[in-house]
A and B are shown apart, each in its own frame.
Chain A
């Protein structure tokens, strides 16, 4: 066992003992707020520590315990003997998990199920006592569908993803990248728990697309509670399921995942143009396919596409045929289904077991994602942009300007751009004199034009690349530990007030502007 793991176990045992002691003290003084806060802090620290490692069962139970104690210390849930007993039970269970770690025993299926039961039990207390504070939004706890036998229904939301994004995902899959679909149902109370679900969704490793939809019909405006999350999220990402579950490790019971088979992306869409009238083309195409004349089929597809309006369902299907034909070993079965679909204008059923092809085969490797320093630079620059755009406050502005300039100066030095530092310092002096950071913000856009909006690649790198330079003393983690580097481009997850049925977000340089967000109580 390495030193860090030994330290973790030692601190965990102290914390568990401390929790037991504080619960006993609370029996004598159930109204003691300071004691409540101390108890919350211990659980919070223990949960944070568990997040350094790959202990999802422990994190799950501790996160539920933390949420419960957060509700108690804010008066939303009454402290009771039942609560204390349930928490003690849960901490005993965490102790058992510690024993298993110490003895290097893998977590059994029974223990994993017990973790779900414990977390559910703790969350039920938040529900039953607070009533309106229904942590799981009335939903049953759902196990992540990571290894579900078949998950096409979950991924049927793929039809909502714009074709251009699906094609981007397809291209990535052809290089061996895995694809995953995430259905994320945040707690209604998530804003009070320090969560930012939109940011969480958009920071999914290998993020490609986020879609949002209200989980129930919108109530009348007057009845709407702006501080509750009423949206469900769907995310398409190029990542392994393990990376995704690590990313959502504090809210494991709020997500379902499905590995996306590349063919599921092949969803022709568009104007039916009066119905299927392409018999000649279909006949020719099938002839070419049967003769394995892929080049000839490619030419026929190209020609037909040139003659057709891009908005037609036919054109969409032809574009997908082009993609299939571009693969090293074109999938004749899939092509045949796509050609046949032109007769009916119905999306082929890709779930059928008959579809077996290279396109369906599980990808073997994750593509390289870029340079860690470039991403770090982007993050630092993004943050300084946000810092400089904070409302001008005479008391804090000088310090803020100096801090941002120090950070940017470091970036310039690190990249050998020493000659630009005097100009930065001159602007800083001017900003301090005029008490406005506008000039510096402008300079930032000129000096770092490539470090603008967060890209999906940057986000992916920020959260999903396995550590490349793990120091000796850092434990080798079974799953990559993400550094959820926050960028200033991250969008706030203020509850959407728009009655729009669905707001789909495509990767773009322009992000949704940040709305005013209530401070999470935990952070106060």
Chain B
């Protein structure tokens, strides 16, 4: 079963994403900030990351930069944010996000994007 790490400081959002992704057949782990996410990424080979932007300690941009610096570009990352500005999106791509979705992510759309990035048969 493919593993996805959901990174968000809001427990409600983590649960929301977990429910959606588990229902779609993925195994989900959670992290509450970028630091914890990096620690988990060191010990578990995740297939995809769903990353919030604003988090304490290490935000989503910082997490992605560090992830990419550690030569893990092939693991897709979807950044989710409440901000819809084009500058925010470009900043996410520059940091290494493969996709940028605005919260709240709709269940079918999130699953469709995850499946595409995973190469899962549609």
**When the two chains form the complex, which single residue of A203, A386, A481 contacts B106, counting CB atoms closer than 8 Å?**
A481
A480 contacts across to B, CB distance below 8 A: 106
Contact A409 B119 (CB under 8 A): yes
Q: In the bound complex, do residue A386 and residue B116 qualify as a contact, i.e. CB atoms below 8 Å apart?
A: no
Asked if residues B86 and A467 are in contact (CB atoms below 8 Å), the reply is no
- Tell me if B34 is interfacial: C-beta within 8 Å of chain A: no
Q: Would you call A240 an interface residue if the criterion is a C-beta within 8 Å of the partner chain's C-beta atoms?
A: no
Q: Is A16 an interface residue (CB 8 A)?
A: no
* Max chain A C-beta neighbours (<10 A), residue from B24, B101, B106: B106
Inside 8 A of A523's CB, which chain B residues have their CB?
Answer: 53, 83, 85, 87-88, 91
- B residues 70-119 in Cβ contact with A at 8 Å: 71, 73-77, 82-91, 93-94, 96, 98-113, 115-119
Contact A410 B105 (CB under 8 A): no
Cα(A200)–Cα(B83), bound, Å: 11
B85 near A196 with CB under 8 A, answer yes
B107–A467 touching, CB < 8 Å: yes
CB pair A52 B109 closer than 8 Å: no
Selected from B20, B86, B96, the residue in CB contact (under 8 A) with A474 is B20
Asked if B11 is at the interface (CB within 8 A of a chain A CB), the reply is: yes
Q: In whole angstroms, how far apart are the Cα atoms of A390 and B105 in the complex?
A: 25
Q: Is B45 an interface residue (CB 8 A)?
A: no
Q: Mark A244-260, 1 if CB is under 8 A from B, else 0.
A: 00000010000000000
**A183 shortest CB reach to chain B, Å:** 19
- Which residues of chain A are within 8 angstroms of B104 by Cβ–Cβ distance? 51-52, 481-483
Contact of A49 among B13, B53, B111, B115 (CB under 8 A): B13
A383 nearest CB neighbor, chain B only: B99
Which stretch (A88-96, A217-225, A289-297, A513-521) binds chain B? Answer: A513-521
Q: How far is the CA of A195 from the CA of B86 in the complex (A)?
A: 8
Q: Is the CB of A396 within 8 A of B108?
A: no
The answer to whether A4 has its CB under 8 Å from any CB of chain B is yes
Residues in A neighbouring B102, C-beta threshold 8 A: 483-486
Mark interface residues in B50-65 (1 if CB within 8 Å of A CB, else 0). 0001101000000000
Residues from chain A with a CB closer than 8 A to the CB of B69 are 399
Q: Which residues of A contact B68 (CB under 8 A)?
A: 396, 399, 403
CB of B112 within 8 A of CB of A376, answer yes
Kindly state whether residue A522 has any CB partner on chain B within 8 Å.
Answer: yes
Contact (Cβ within 8 A) B84 A469: no
Q: Answer yes or no: B44 CB below 8 A from chain A CBs.
A: no
Q: Is the CB of A407 within 8 A of B106?
A: no
Cβ contact within 8 Å between B117 and A4 = no
Alpha-carbon separation in the docked complex, A485 to B118 (Å): 18
In the complex the two chains form, what is the Cα distance from A203 to B89 in whole Å?
15
CB of A195 within 8 A of CB of B84, answer yes
Which residue, of A413, A462, A471, has the highest number of chain B Cβ atoms within 10 A?
Answer: A471
Interface segment, one of A125-133, A151-159, A490-498: A490-498
Chain A: minimal CB distance from B12 (Å) = 4
Q: Name which residue of chain A comes closest to B73, CB basis.
A: A402
Given contact pairs A483-B110, A485-B109, A406 touches B116 in the complex (Cβ within 8 A): no
B122 contacts partner chain A, Cβ-Cβ < 8 Å: yes
Give the complex CA separation of A514 and B89 in angstroms. Answer: 12
User: Is A406's CB under 8 angstroms from B85's CB?
Assistant: no
**Assembled-state Cα–Cα distance A98/B9 (Å):** 20
Asked if B39 CB lies within 8 Å of chain A CBs, one says: no
Q: With A and B bound together, what is the CA distance between A379 and B97 in angstroms?
A: 13
Chain A residue numbers with a CB within 8 Å of B120 are 413-414
In the complex, which of the residues A482, A483, A517 contacts B85, with contact meaning CB atoms closer than 8 Å?
A517
Contacting A399 at CB < 8 Å: which of B24, B73, B100? B73
CA A398 – CA B83 in complex, angstroms? Answer: 27
Q: How far is the CA of A410 from the CA of B74 in the complex (A)?
A: 10
Decide: B15 and A7 in contact? CB cutoff 8 A: yes
A residues in contact with B98, CB < 8 Å: 380, 383-384, 387, 403-404, 406-407
A390-B93, A414-B122 known; A462 and B109 CB under 8 Å?
Answer: yes
Cβ–Cβ < 8 Å partners of A471 in chain B: 19-20, 22-24, 107
Shortest distance in angstroms between B101's beta carbon and chain A's nearest beta carbon? 6
Of the residues B15, B83, B113, B121, contact of A380 by C-beta under 8 Å: B113
Q: Is B10 an interface residue (CB 8 A)?
A: yes
Are the C-beta atoms of B85 and A520 separated by less than 8 Å?
yes
- A522 (CB) vs chain B CBs: closest residue: B83
Nearest B residue to A53, CB-CB: B104
Q: Check A414 against B116 for contact (C-beta < 8 Å).
A: yes
Q: Which residue of A lies closest to B48 (CB)?
A: A410
Interface flag for A500 (CB, 8 Å)? no
* Residue in B closest to A517 when the chains form the complex, CB atoms: B87
Quick one: which of A181-216 are within 8 Å of B by CB?
Answer: 191, 194-196, 199-200, 203
Q: Are A250 and B76 in touch, CB under 8 angstroms?
A: no
| Residue interface mask A9-52, B partner, CB < 8 A = 1 | 01100000000000000000000000000100100110111011
Q: B116's contact among A49, A398, A410, by CB below 8 Å, is which?
A: A410
In the complex, 20 of the A-B residue pairs with CB atoms within 8 angstroms, ordered by the A residue number, are: A11-B12, A44-B54, A45-B9, A194-B82, A199-B86, A379-B99, A380-B116, A383-B98, A399-B68, A403-B73, A403-B77, A407-B98, A410-B76, A410-B117, A411-B119, A414-B120, A465-B108, A467-B108, A480-B106, A519-B88
**Known A48-B103, A191-B85, A403-B77; further 8 A-B contacts with Cβ < 8 A:** A386-B90, A396-B94, A414-B115, A483-B110, A486-B101, A492-B86, A519-B87, A522-B83
Binding site for B on A (CB under 8 A): 3-4, 7-8, 10-11, 38, 41, 44-45, 47-49, 51-52, 191, 194-196, 199-200, 203, 250, 372-373, 375-377, 379-380, 383-384, 386-387, 390, 396, 398-400, 402-404, 406-407, 409-416, 462, 465, 467-474, 480-486, 490-493, 514, 517-520, 522-523
